[in-house]
Amino acid sequence: MRTKEDIFQLLENVSDPEVPVLTVLDLGIIRDVIIINDNEVEIVITPTYSGCPAMNTIAMNIKFELMANGIQHVRVREILSPAWTTDWMTEAGKLKLNSYGIAPPQYTTLNNPREMDAVVPCPQCHSKDTVLVSQFGSTACKALYKCNSCLEPFDYFKCH
Amino acid sequence: MNPSLVQYILHLADNSFINGHRLSEWCGHGPALEVDMALSNIALDNIGAARSFYQYAAQLEGGDKTEDYYPHWRTLREFRNVLLVELPNGDFADTIARSFFFDAYQFLFYKALTNSKDLQLAAIAEKSLKEVTYHLRFSSEWVIRLGDGTEESKERMQASIHKLWDYTGELFSASDTEKEMIDAGIATDISLLKPEWDKIISDTLEEATLSYPLRADGAWFQNGGKRGIHTEHFGFILAEVQYMQKTYPGAEW
């Protein structure tokens, strides 16, 4: 009989299509795993941003991964409440983001300073002498920063 | 299934959808790369919220309705957005004025809607409130930059504020559907939002060294969007949005 742990193991293989170093578990978007029987599972997810175009792909990839591992009926259901927050991102996920070249969220939503005051270390050279270039980046979740030490630009995964 | 509830949901969906559509028209045409990205991101947030509402409506109506039906197949008079969001982008100041007025409204609106007796609407509101907070920050900061900027930017920003002012009244005037939903504890009572909205507007305009438009109590304001009576601009929006589906019905890729 399949257990929740079995399913979580499989979900470790499902990555964010935009940031492939992160799994859906690292992102904190898996809200529940419901085992109906050995052949039928429901996965409950929550979207990161309202308009995030990756959610459809993620839902599809979850289905494919489970079906490829012998579960014939997979249902992926989306819930909106409680709203996803970067507070749910795992510490492991944050480390992976940094090595990938994206600065992870620096604060929790509770102790979040004004965006302008946030100190974001450069993922390349680790200098704290960095500057916000734009609140909005290539995707809804990212902002654009520049490092004054090594002069490289980098993405920052915003606190949300 | 309550038809008034569906109409109310579509009003909320249409507001976000048409606003998002207008903002998306800036993609590739922004005055600076940073602004181009910002407007595109904000447009996407709006369309994401619209999708959540359209999906909910489709779920309630059932049958073979999906989220795609509502933006692509309804006729002009079935759309229920406020007139403010369908106005053309104009110059950057016009867009910022429109966004500023609408974002301040959305911020207060969603805050109230999180208390809706309808749990799905409350959930959508909770999600959208986080994003709209960023939108309001973006638009209000640009009002300040342009207002307290050069002579030309101040002139244009002030002109846009005045030009769009008559379209803001509709935001606080409940339609019959809204009144029914307010009584049911589902809808936000928008008439209660006006004092707080006025404060956000006047505080920001003061910091922007711009003047606050005066309107006599009870003065007429532009309206009709909530009843499906749209401006002449709306037909052009639908032509763009609906052309593909209506020419090649059922097309997918």
Query: What integer pLDDT is reported at residue A30 of this predicted model?
Result: 96
Write out the two tokens for A116: 């302008």
A58: distance to nearest CA of chain B, Å? 16
Chain A touched by B41 (CB under 8 Å): yes
In a domain, A31, yes or no: yes
Nearest CA in chain B to A136: B38
A66 and A108 assigned to the same domain: no
Query: What integer pLDDT is reported at residue A49 of this predicted model?
Result: 86
Q: What is the ipTM of this complex?
A: 0.83
Give how far the C-alpha of residue B98 lies from the chain's centroid of Cα atoms, to the nearest Å. Answer: 9
Instruction: Choose the closest CB to A136 out of B41, B47, B130.
Output: B41
Per-residue pLDDT at B29 exceeds 70: yes
Q: Where are the alpha helices (DSSP H) in A2-144?
A: 4-11, 24-27, 54-68, 91-100
Output the CA angle A42-B125-B202, nearest 5 degrees.
160
Contact check, Cβ <8 Å, A81/B119: yes
In whole angstroms, what is the distance from residue B54 CA to residue B57 CA? 5
Nearest CA in chain B to A133: B34
pLDDT digits (tens, 9 = 90+) for B106-140: 999 999 999 999 999 999 999 999 899 989 999 99
In a domain, A30, yes or no: yes
pLDDT digits (tens, 9 = 90+) for B90-99: 999 999 999 9
Q: Count of domains in chain A?
A: 2
Q: Count of domains in chain B?
A: 1
Per-residue pLDDT at A116 exceeds 80: no
What burial class does residue B119 get, using C-beta atoms within 10 Å of its C-beta: 0-12 exposed, 13-18 middle, 19+ buried? exposed
Report chain A's mean pLDDT, rounded to a whole number. 91
Domain that holds residue A121: 89-157
In a domain, A83, yes or no: no
**Residue that is last in its domain, among A30, A57, A78:** A78
pLDDT digits (tens, 9 = 90+) for B189-245: 999 999 999 999 999 999 999 999 987 777 889 999 999 999 999 999 999 999 999
* Cross-strand pairs, A131: A146
Edge-to-edge, what's the strand order for the sheet holding A130-134?
A: A102-103, A153-157, A142-147, A130-134
Query: What integer pLDDT is reported at residue B69 of this predicted model?
Result: 96
Output the CA angle A107-B132-B187, nearest 5 degrees.
125
Query: What integer pLDDT is reported at residue A92 of this predicted model?
Result: 95
pLDDT digits (tens, 9 = 90+) for A9-54: 999 999 999 889 999 999 999 999 999 988 999 999 999 888 888 8
In a domain, B115, yes or no: yes
In a domain, B234, yes or no: yes
**Residue that is last in its domain, among A57, A78, A99:** A78
In a domain, A84, yes or no: no
Contact check, Cβ <8 Å, B126/A50: no
A68 and A94 assigned to the same domain: no
**What are the residues of chain A with a beta carbon less than 8 Å away from any beta carbon of chain B?**
47, 49-53, 79-84, 133-138, 140, 144, 160
Nearest CA in chain A to B34: A134
Number of Cβ pairs closer than 8 Å across A and B? 63
Q: Which of residues 132-151 of B touch A (CB under 8 A)?
A: 134, 138
Residue A40 CB neighbours (<10 A): 14
A74 and A11 assigned to the same domain: yes
CATH number of the domain where residue B12 is located: 1.20.1260.10
Query: What integer pLDDT is reported at residue A110 of this predicted model?
Result: 67
Predicted TM-score of the model (pTM): 0.92
**Residue that is last in its domain, among A45, A78, A111:** A78
A95 and A127 assigned to the same domain: yes
Residue range B34-56: average pLDDT? 95
In a domain, B37, yes or no: yes
Contact check, Cβ <8 Å, A83/B120: no
DSSP class of B236:
H
A54 and A98 assigned to the same domain: no
Per-residue pLDDT at A111 exceeds 70: no
A73 and A14 assigned to the same domain: yes
A10 and A46 assigned to the same domain: yes
- CA B45 → CA A50, A141, A150, B184, B219, distances in Å? 6, 11, 33, 28, 34
Write out the two tokens for A10: 């499989």
Nearest CA in chain B to A135: B38
A74 and A8 assigned to the same domain: yes
